[in-house]
């Protein structure tokens, strides 16, 4: 009983400053909203846990393996974090990954460059793969061969094996966890409901107090 009472959080006043701004900062960088609010320990905890999960997922989905046995092209980094809304390649996991904010935003830049037939940056970091070899060849025959060296989705699955899915899960979980952290920055910690025994005790106390 005393142990349970010690675990029961004491009602604590948390200065949330500007909750909306804190939530926005928390979306951009995990923990930044809490840092802004002065909740430094939780800021560090959120940053380490969420960014660690996301970064591990990015690492899992990276490889120096060549594409199609060509030495000048490699799979590259962060291949599971990409945005694509093309036919037969609607990347729904990105809707979860974007929850982590700034770290997932390069994917939008890369998708935009790919769609506009501009060469993708950073050796294809978070760039969307070609949906198929046919699409890649079609783009080349249309005179857009800036991104011809980029792998296809099939290449990613073949080279990364199960790490493509594992990386996707880790980065998705990282993004979703940051939504929880953003909510905490906006509204403060969710107080657990009071235990029934405590309620009964408090009722008894009020009854006792009410007695003359």
Partner 1 sequence: MMGFLLADGQGLNWRDGDLWYALPLIIAVSLVYAATRHERMRPILLHAGRVALWIVGFMAVVFVVLGLISWRL
Start-end of H helices in 61-152: 93-97, 106-115, 133-141
22 binding partner 1? (CB under 8 A): no
162 binding partner 1? (CB under 8 A): yes
Residues 29 and 128 sit within 8 Å (Cβ to Cβ): no
Of these, 27, 32, 35, 53, which contacts partner 1 (CB under 8 A)? 53
Closer residue to partner 1 in complex, CB, 44/92: 44
Of these, 1, 12, 116, 207, which contacts partner 1 (CB under 8 A)? 12
Residues 8 and 198 sit within 8 Å (Cβ to Cβ): yes
Residues 120 and 36 sit within 8 Å (Cβ to Cβ): no
Of these, 68, 154, 189, 203, which contacts partner 1 (CB under 8 A)? 189
155 binding partner 1? (CB under 8 A): no
Closer residue to partner 1 in complex, CB, 12/208: 12
> Radius of gyration over alpha carbons of the chain, in Å?
24
Closer residue to partner 1 in complex, CB, 51/109: 51
39 binding partner 1? (CB under 8 A): yes
142 binding partner 1? (CB under 8 A): no
Other CB atoms within a 10 A radius of the CB of residue 77 amount to: 18
β pairing state of 63-67 and 70-76: antiparallel
Task: Using CB atoms within 10 Å of the CB of residue 132, give its burial: 0 to 12 exposed, 13 to 18 middle, 19+ buried.
Answer: middle
Q: Which residues bind partner 1 (CB under 8 A)?
A: 7, 9, 12, 14, 39, 41-42, 45-46, 49-50, 52-53, 56, 162, 166, 169-170, 173-174, 177, 180-181, 183-184, 188-192
């Amino acid at each position: 009983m005393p142990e349970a009472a010690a675990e029961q959080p004491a009602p604590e006043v948390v200065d949330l400053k500007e909750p909306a701004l804190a939530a926005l900062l928390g979306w951009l960088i995990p923990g930044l909203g809490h840092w802004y609010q002065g909740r430094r320990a939780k800021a560090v905890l959120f940053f380490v846990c969420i960014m660690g999960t996301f970064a591990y997922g990015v690492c899992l989905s990276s490889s120096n393996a060549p594409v199609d046995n060509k030495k000048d092209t490699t799979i590259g980094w962060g291949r599971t974090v990409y945005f694509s809304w093309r036919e037969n390649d609607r990347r729904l996991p990105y809707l979860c990954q974007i929850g982590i904010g700034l770290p997932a935003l390069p994917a939008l830049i890369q998708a935009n460059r790919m769609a506009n037939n501009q060469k993708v940056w950073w050796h294809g970091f978070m760039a969307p793969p070609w949906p198929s070899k046919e699409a890649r060849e079609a783009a080349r025959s249309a005179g857009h061969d800036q991104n011809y060296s980029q792998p296809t989705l099939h290449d990613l699955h073949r080279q990364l094996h199960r790490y493509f899915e594992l990386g996707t899960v880790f980065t998705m979980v990282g993004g979703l966890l940051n939504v929880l952290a953003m909510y905490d920055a906006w509204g403060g910690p969710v107080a657990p409901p009071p235990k029934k025994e405590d309620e009964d005790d408090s009722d008894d106390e009020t009854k006792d107090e009410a007695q003359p």
